[in-house]
Amino acid sequence: MLFSTYCLVLAQIYGIIPTCIITKGFHVGQSCFSRNLLQARKLEAQLDEQMNAYRKLVSTNLSTKGDAAQSDVESWIERLIKQLQQVNSQMQAWVSSGGSDMVSHTLTRHQEILQDITQEFYRLRSSLRAKQEHASLLDDFKEFDRTRLDLEEGWENLNSIHS
């Protein structure tokens, strides 16, 4: 453990990212923060890809009900957002324990990215739900109008028979 403490002290003095001690301080692996940073970037790239697919789905969806593709994309995005929140929390814990200003700035940027993605997702989902509700109301009105016309025709036919 003496080696790991020494590494952490040097890291704090020089403002570098300490490495994770994997087995009793003898094997120094990739930096904890760096691994989380790589994971955050990977998740952000996946979210970007899924958000592009979701934007297309929202812009073209005119149905009154959500389909399986919509549900799958939404579930996948929600899962990725939760994973990114966890990774950001791990990075936050590391920064809170004495990370450098540069690392703190990096974390802030990734938190902003997460916030932007989350807000856009909820905005798009709300927009999609509103479009579906609107389409459903139009369908209901069309059905009502058809029923009204059928009744009027029936009434006119009944009147013509009795006349």
- Whether residue 62 is predicted with pLDDT greater than 80 in this model: the reply is no
How high is the pLDDT of residue 10? 44
How high is the pLDDT of residue 38? 94
User: How far is 79 from 115, CA to CA, in rounded Å?
Assistant: 15
pLDDT digit string (tens) for 118-134?
A: 999 999 999 998 888 88
Contact yes or no for 132/65 (Cβ under 8 A):
yes
**pTM for this prediction:** 0.65
Residue 79 CB neighbour total at 10 angstroms? 13
Residue 88 CB neighbour total at 10 angstroms? 20
